Amino acid sequence: MALHAPIDLVIFDCDGVLVDSEKLSVAIDQRVLADLGWQLPRDEIIRRFVGRSDAHFRAGIEEHLGLSLPDDWEAPYVQWYLDAFAQDLTAVAGVVDALDSIEKVTCVASSGSHGKIRRNLGLTGLLPRFEGRIFSADDVRDGKPAPDLFLHAAQTMGVPPSRCIVIEDSRFGVQAARGAGMRVLGYAGGLTPASWLAEEGATVFTDMAVLPGLLS
């Protein structure tokens, strides 16, 4: 999937690509898991959960603990995330300038819920750039690493998968993009090691300043 082939749609993941949320989320995930009785190292949380949906996080907890969590199991922890994001969430370094330079049509396709995506984009001032072009794991049956979300985004935007390129920061997201028949750029400026992204077939970059050039 050569990068010089025509691109009509740029699909951005949200967390870790547009908003610098992964380091905040993983730190709180670790606290949540510990409170539930699962002491999991930071690197293992990244390996298991970064790029996956909230439903997958819950399923992983239930499998490890050998029990079913109640529907409101997250209630004691929601404010932990909200407080951290309200205080410390920023846009990924360089992404605003990159977006200003990208002339192609863009959208967001994230494993987060619509509420979470909109909240995080709103906190960082990015929401107006993607209004009406936001897709969530809530919209499809199977989230990343299944290709469903990216295929749904492309179909809704009216662009064939072969003319889409995905900007991802997780190995599950890269797997989903590749499964959808899309080219993928792996942003390794966050938590996921560059080698993980490259092994899944992404063209890796570490500085958002180079993104417009990669897309052109």
- Active-site entry in 15, 20, 29, 138: 15
Strands (E), the chain: 9-12, 105-110, 134-136, 164-168, 183-187, 203-205
83 catalytic? Reply is: no
State how far the Cα of 36 lies from the Cα of 54, in Å rounded to an integer. Answer: 16
Residue 102, both tokens? 């990208």
For residue 145, what are the contacts with CB-CB under 8 A and spacing of at least 6? 51, 171, 172, 173, 175, 176, 179
How many Cβ atoms sit within 10 Å of the Cβ of residue 152? 18
Taking every pair of C-alpha atoms in the chain, what is the biggest distance, in angstroms?
A: 50
In terms of Cβ atoms closer than 10 Å to its own Cβ (0-12, 13-18, 19+), residue 141 is exposed
Q: Which residue has the tokens 């439903």?
A: 55
15 catalytic? Reply is: yes
For residue 89, what are the contacts with CB-CB under 8 A and spacing of at least 6? 19, 20, 21, 24, 120, 123, 124
- Active-site entry in 8, 13, 100, 207: 13
Contact indicator for 184, 29 with CB cutoff of 8 Å = no
Catalytic residue set: 13, 15
